[in-house]
Structure 1
């Protein structure tokens, strides 16, 4: 427990209060950042990569400002693991990921399936699968494919779609959800 003044709050109570606020406010916000308002003026992202073995638990925004070094660390974490190429990750994508995670009310970190993809990696994946877009937002640092063990693809996709802030793809057979900061749209089953 943490003490704030003379009142004591558990982490679960604070998260519950935030979740209730975010859900109640949902109809009036059109961007993911709206779901993060009232969250103690911080934004946090928690992920791990099974490909690299790396873990990330990062506060990347405090009191209205992105923390440049934190965003750089997230960018490096989300690099193309096949060739270690890096592209700046769009902070709007981070906001969608963080807002969706908060709406899911989980402490488990996301498993990052795919973040930034270099053009070479995207071309290789396109040659193997018809489900990879030629001009994928992954190549612009504007998309992530994610998984949570404790939540279904459907639950994750509903949380991301509730943000009304970008694309949401359901890949049930592959057990991941695509989230991006492009136009609002959805696909998959």
Structure 2
């Protein structure tokens, strides 16, 4: 026979436990990093490039600090593949990408369509398409165009939008989602 004692949890204790759980489950501030807090002490990004054939599966943040060498590798991976130019990718963009990926609960890596774009590449693309912004956040190292085979454009865009951390563009016709760390806004279908 086991000795069972009634729990001594007070109403106040129960409410405090509920509040702590709510804070862990909800974003603690209005950007992607809030979604990542409940996921432990690491942040990870998984991508591959159909253009270069390269893959990256990188832990880039541990215990509150970005890992310089990992961020450097991410910058190189997200380079302008047309001319090899590398730019520092805004860490907020990487956080938005990682948070969205976590929310989608997939193990599959993103397929990166576009990361950093040099001004020359952006001008060339702009001359071919009206859908390329003159002052694109890609030029600033603040944007990425991504897709997942297992998720729709709408699902990915909803996950990114729920981070309330930047711009989210739906490009259903081209099967990708644009994510950036600029002002919170959405566009596309």
User: TM-score category by the smaller chain?
Assistant: 0.7 to 0.9
Q: Give SS of 1:154's match.
A: helix
Map 1:48-87 onto structure 2 (within 5 A).
48-87=48-87
Deviations 1:85-137 (A, max 9, x none): 01000000000000000000000000000000000000000001101000000
Map 1:17-166 onto structure 2 (within 5 A).
24-26=25-27, 29-166=29-166
The separation in 1 between residues aligned to 2:168 and 2:158, in whole angstroms, is 9
Normalization by structure 2: what TM-score? Answer: 0.87
1:22–1:35: 8 Å Cα contact kept in structure 2?
A: no
1:23–1:103: 8 Å Cα contact kept in structure 2?
A: no
Q: Give SS of 1:70's match.
A: helix
2:166–2:180: 8 Å Cα contact kept in structure 1?
A: yes
The separation in 2 between residues aligned to 1:40 and 1:113, in whole angstroms, is 29
The separation in 1 between residues aligned to 2:176 and 2:22, in whole angstroms, is 27
- The equivalent of 2:177 in structure 1 is 177
- The equivalent of 2:10 in structure 1 is none
The structure having more radius of gyration, on CA atoms, is: 2
Residues 1:22 and 1:35: Cα distance change in structure 2 (over 3 Å):
farther
Aligned length: 169
Q: Give SS of 2:40's match.
A: coil
Give the gaps of 5 or more residues in structure 2.
1-20
Output the aligned Cα RMSD: 1.5
Q: Give SS of 1:137's match.
A: coil
Runs of 4+ in 1 over 3 A off after TM superposition: 20-24
2:24–2:38: 8 Å Cα contact kept in structure 1?
A: no
Give the gaps of 5 or more residues in structure 1.
1-19
Deviations 1:4-60 (A, max 9, x none): xxxxxxxxxxxxxxxx9899414x531100000021200000000000000000000
The separation in 2 between residues aligned to 1:40 and 1:30, in whole angstroms, is 18
